[in-house]
Chains A and B, each alone.
Chain A
Amino acid sequence: MKLSLLRSLLLVFSLFFSGQALAVAVDEEVIADPALETRARNIMTGIRCLVCQNQSIEDSNADLAHDLRRIVRERVEAGDDDDQVRAYLVARYGDWVLLRPPFKPRTFFLWFAPLIFLTGGIVALVFALKRRRDAPTSPEPLDAAEQEKLKKLLEERQGE
């Protein structure tokens, strides 16, 4: 029983990952030199398919993605370095074509927002913990008058 559960889990996991591998678009005209092809593929994974928007051109089958892949390969073969290929596409489609937003003043908030929220959360947590620690842990001991009152109340209840 336990074994079959483990097996099915393994199956689910392996299917999950194999699915990802299959999602890579089947191409067409690859560069003969494997090193250049690998470089081109690497660039493609960071380029947004503008039609499907949240896919990279590497795993999209859209027509435009295919055309952009061809351009990436052409630029790589022509001897452009990775940044030059990206700059070529950014000049035509803007920063949006990059799946990883560039780090520049306009995007500072984007990049630093998680840090700002984390700092805010830590500060809030510290304050909350501090308040809890400063709060009295056990109530003040009863004074004589209160002891007397308590005793009376308990006696009353026992009498009931």
Chain B
Amino acid sequence: MKPVHLLPLGLFVLIAAALAVGLTLKPRDIPSALIGKPVPAFALAPLHESESPFTDEDLKDGKARIVNVWASWCVPCVAEHPILTDLTAAGVSVYGINYKDKPEDARLFLRRLGDPFAKIGVDPDGRTSIEWGVYGVPETFVVSGDGVIVYKTISALTRETVNSEILPLLKELNGGAE
């Protein structure tokens, strides 16, 4: 057999391999354009009336933290809630952006499931979330102490993601103090 006869087989293998790789990619995982960029300027009214507004200045206090975009109507948010609670219990600072929600629904959600958020801003029309490049809830960001977005993950957090990616990152950003 002449080598040229192996060409179709070779081409087939090449195309099959490329398609196989393509099948493993998740089209929903859009890489964030904001990684490495400072957080957008924003000012959100607090969910709990006694608190101060949540602004970009709050994210520049020298402490790396998690910013979680959530809503009471979002089912995956319920699923990831215990993970956020555990993070707070472990001493991680978790801030929340309440996306297109009714404040009373959001407060009820937190009364029922517990409130892991150190601070929550409400984004009733989703405008601030668009500034953050959010396209679906929940989304979770890791923001460094000087207010730079260093990491983003979409859809519900998993223990695996938290343990393998988020916690090591926070530890590194906070100088191993976490």
Contacts and interface: CB of A to CB of B under 8 A. Distances in A.
Nearest to B127: A67
B34 A92 contact: yes
Dominant secondary structure at the B interface: loop
Interface residues of B, number: 17
A90 B32 CA distance: 10
B27 A92 contact: no
A71 B31 contact: no
A150 B130 CA distance: 88
Contacts of B130: 67-68, 71, 92
Contacts of A50: 30, 135-136
Nearest to A71: B130
Given A50-B30, A53-B27, A92 B125 contact: no
A67 B100 CA distance: 11
A129 interface: no
Contacts of B30: 50, 93-94, 96
Interface in B114-136: 125-127, 130-133, 135-136
Given A50-B30, A64-B136, A92 B126 contact: no
A96 B135 CA distance: 12
A154 B32 CA distance: 82
A112 to B, nearest CB: 16
12 contacts: A53-B28, A63-B100, A64-B126, A64-B135, A67-B126, A92-B33, A92-B131, A93-B30, A93-B135, A94-B33, A94-B133, A95-B33
What 7 pairs between A and B have smallest CB-CB spacing? Answer: A94-B33, A50-B135, A92-B133, A96-B30, A67-B126, A93-B133, A64-B135
